[in-house]
Structure 1
Amino acid sequence: MSTIVFLHAHPDDEASGTGGTMRLAADAGHRVICVYATNGDHGTVPTDLREGETVVDRRRTEADGSAVALGTARVAWLGYADSGMTGWEQNSHEQSFHGSDTDEAARRVAAVLDEEDADVLVGYDWHGGYGHPDHVKVHHVAHRAAELAARRPRELEATLNRDHMRRMFEAAKEAGMAEEDADWDPDAPADDGNPVGTPEAELHWHVDVRPVLAAKRAALSAHASQEDVGWMLGMPEEQFAAAFGDEWFIEPGREPGLTHTHPLAP
């Protein structure tokens, strides 16, 4: 069995992005670790905070709940502040992850890799899926951490399949289900000016996570304080399965070709 470390930018990214892959790996007997780069302090402020409770406190508690749903064996925090979206003043905050020294952040991740003698490290694609500064930083920090680890782990990059998104959107339009978003274009510039996700021809792994979709939904539910999570959970079951039933990964250095199985399947 393997030990897999998932490096995520913010609490709740693990649930929406790789939650199914994490649950499937845990169910197969692998040790799953989730490392959060930031504390999510610029997320939605819950209206029901208890006296003395902060947004960071709540998001850490929610992350623990998500870990239970996904079978995560350990949750670790790098301790950086959420950098906000491209151009926000938080980008330059002295404790922001986006503005952190890459080697210093990578050493913190490498310490977890060494403590766990990790076999696999999962980060993000080169533009973090949609260009969020913290997601882009995850890409660089993950690869540097792999270089610094005592035993270099196998590296995977979580991403989105741009072609799959386009197909799903076109199907929704034909079914009359996308009238409000009729002008949406997956090839249009996202937060950093690049299109969302990765072309299918550049992907290596497709994981069908529908068998554990209830666990993925439960992990999202654990982050219920967040506005974005609210609209995800508000989707009808069929729509939720279409949007979140597939997870995609790049494996740097692997020969081209998409394989439809878990990257750790026998």
Structure 2
Amino acid sequence: MATLVSFHAHPDDESITAGGLLRRAADQGHRVVLVFGTRGELGEVPDGFLDEGEPLWQRRVAETLESARILGVSRTEFLGYVDSGMMGEPSNDDPSCLWQADIDQAAGRLAAILREEQADVLTVYDDNGGYGHPDHIQVHRVGLRAAELAGTGRVYQLTTNREYFEAGWEQFRAGAEAAGIDIPDSDAPGVEMGKPEAEITGRFDVSDQLEAKRASMRAHASQISEHSLFLGMPEEAFAYAFGVEWAIRDGQGPGITETDPMAGLPA
């Protein structure tokens, strides 16, 4: 049995960016471990959603554990940093937030888990964190350093295929608006996603795991409501958006050369 460790910034990131890969690895008989940099303290939640006196982080941890169960995860850990908020917000300056974390110190915490698990595979994000969120960028930096410290040789930088994303965004935008879901143009400020297809080396078909991925998203009800863009989109659009996951691995390519991050590892 091989071990996949998937490192993320906040609860629900695992569902959106890697839910299919995690469930597929578990279905193949591999051990799957989730690690989060923060507990998502600064997520937005509708008024009245939380119980009186309930902190958001507590609800998000509970949601994460349910998501992990759905995805077949064997272990879930939090590194203990605080959510940094979006880039440029005052919360970026909080000395306890992930954005302010010392890279080697944070990497040491993750590396300890990698060593303990004897991890064969680690997933992080690309160098822009997928879309420029400071905590996601730190996941890239901390994750790569942790892999060096622990000697984890197979590291995948989860990303989005920019051309694929833009084509799908425009294709389904009209349908989303017809359903009452307002989304911006694909070229609107702040929505540029991922990396050019030419830089991507892994294309992972997770269409067989779509229902598990959707259920994992639903588990994060404080952040992903039934009327959100993700869960509100038509079936065809959901399959297009979430039925394929993408990654970059140094030393691979040019072009897509991998279809399974666990290929060649004993199940």
TM surpasses 0.5: yes
Q: Secondary structure at the match of 1:249?
A: strand
Measure the CA separation in 1 of the matches of 2:54 and 2:260. Answer: 39
1:167 Cα deviation after fit: 2.3
Measure the CA separation in 1 of the matches of 2:76 and 2:214. Answer: 19
Q: Percent identity?
A: 50
Report matched runs for 1:171-250 at 5 Å: 171-172=171-172, 176-177=174-175, 181=183, 183-185=185-187, 190=190, 195-227=192-224, 230-231=227-228, 232-250=230-248
Label 1:106 to 1:236 Cα distance change in 2 as closer, same or farther (>3 A).
same
1:189 Cα deviation after fit: 5.3
Contact 2:163 2:197 in 1 (8 A): yes
Label 1:182 to 1:128 Cα distance change in 2 as closer, same or farther (>3 A).
closer
Aligned: 1:19 with 2:16: no
Report matched runs for 1:46-125 at 5 Å: 47-125=48-126
Label 1:134 to 1:230 Cα distance change in 2 as closer, same or farther (>3 A).
farther
Contact 2:170 2:186 in 1 (8 A): no
Flag structure 2 segments of 5+ consecutive residues without an equivalent: none
Q: TM-score, normalised by structure 1?
A: 0.90
Aligned residue in 2 for 1:126: 127
Measure the CA separation in 2 of the matches of 1:202 and 1:92. Answer: 32
Q: Secondary structure at the match of 2:165?
A: helix
Label 1:93 to 1:228 Cα distance change in 2 as closer, same or farther (>3 A).
farther
Instruction: Give CA deviations for 1:114-154 in whole Å, capped at 9, x if unaligned.
Output: 110111111000100100000011100001101111x3331
Contact 1:223 1:229 in 2 (8 A): no
Contact 1:15 1:66 in 2 (8 A): yes
Q: Which moved more, 1:234-243 or 1:101-110?
A: 234-243
Q: TM-score, normalised by structure 2?
A: 0.90
Report matched runs for 1:32-47 at 5 Å: 32-45=32-45, 47=48
Contact 1:206 1:249 in 2 (8 A): yes
1:182 Cα deviation after fit: 6.9
Q: Secondary structure at the match of 2:22?
A: helix
1:177 Cα deviation after fit: 3.1
Label 1:130 to 1:229 Cα distance change in 2 as closer, same or farther (>3 A).
farther
C-alpha RMSD over aligned residues = 2.0
Measure the CA separation in 2 of the matches of 1:123 and 1:133. Answer: 14
Q: Which amino acid aligns with 1:123?
A: V
How many pairs does the alignment contain?
258
Q: Secondary structure at the match of 1:177?
A: helix
Contact 1:83 1:134 in 2 (8 A): yes
